[in-house]
Structure 1
Amino acid sequence: MTGLEVVASAVGGLLLAWLVVDRTVRVSVRAWLVIPLAYLLSPIDLVPDFVPVLGWLDDALVVVIALRFVVRSAGADALLRHWLGSPGGLRALCRVAGVTLPSRAPQSVAPGR
């Protein structure tokens, strides 16, 4: 894992951690953050991990679907409040998740914590 990937993982992990404890985000949305974790920790997989490529692909698919739902449901305001990465990273996340940033979104995102 490169240094950039480590930083990206840390920023994404912090975003998810802040969304879990944010009381303005609905409980049902926060509960969706548990699904990928439970699936990844479970010994039961749709495709066993020892199957090359496909074993990890099902894990990635579950994580991507759950995170996309969480990001879309939490909304742009929650993302703006908790985003610790670069403005370009936030725009990329919103583009992938299908979230529209409000026009008042700052060009440089300051850490919320």
Structure 2
Amino acid sequence: MFKRLTLLWSVVRGDARQLWFALRHPAAPGWLKVGTALIALYLLSPVDIVPDWLPVIGVLDDLVLVPLAIRWLLRRLPPDVAEAAARRRG
């Protein structure tokens, strides 16, 4: 279980960094900024698909939905922005 969480964290951290670099790119599309703001709002909002007060399941939806949303945004980036963000990500 701990190995899976470590792997998930490394993927999310890498994707989040790539998303950050894509947001800062001069050619970043407006929908990327809106999508990222919606992801942040979802994380900070007390309203969830599954309430956080439910043991395990409440946090699990955040651990699944947020990385999927980030990956979904990254896959829709224009090629030049995606390439530049991937290069900066390291």
Scaled by the length of structure 2, the TM-score of the pair is 0.68
Q: By how many angstroms is 1:32 displaced? A: 0.4
Q: Tell me, which stretches of 5 or more residues in structure 1 are unaligned?
A: 85-110
Number of residue pairs matched by the alignment:
87
Give the corresponding residue for 2:85.
82
Give the corresponding residue for 2:51.
48
Give the fraction of aligned pairs with identical amino acids, expressed as a percent.
26
Structure showing greater Rg: 1
Superposition pairs of residues 1-113 of structure 1, within 5 angstroms: 8-83=11-86, 111=88
1:40–1:59 Cα contact (<8 Å) kept: yes
1:32–1:70 Cα contact (<8 Å) kept: yes
More helix as a share of residues:
2
1:30–1:70 Cα contact (<8 Å) kept: no
1:61-107 CA deviation, whole Å, 9 max, x = no partner? 431342133112114432221225xxxxxxxxxxxxxxxxxxxxxxx
Give the Cα–Cα distance (whole angstroms) in 2 for the partners of residues 112 and 68 of structure 1: 14
Structure ranking higher on relative contact order (CA contacts 8 Å, 6+ apart): 2
Give the Cα–Cα distance (whole angstroms) in 2 for the partners of residues 74 and 61 of structure 1: 21
1:19–1:78 Cα contact (<8 Å) kept: yes
Give the Cα–Cα distance (whole angstroms) in 1 for the partners of residues 66 and 18 of structure 2: 15
Query: In 2 relative to 1, CA 4–56 (structure 1 residues): closer, same or farther, beyond 3 Å?
Result: closer
Q: Tell me, which stretches of 5 or more residues in structure 2 are unaligned?
A: none
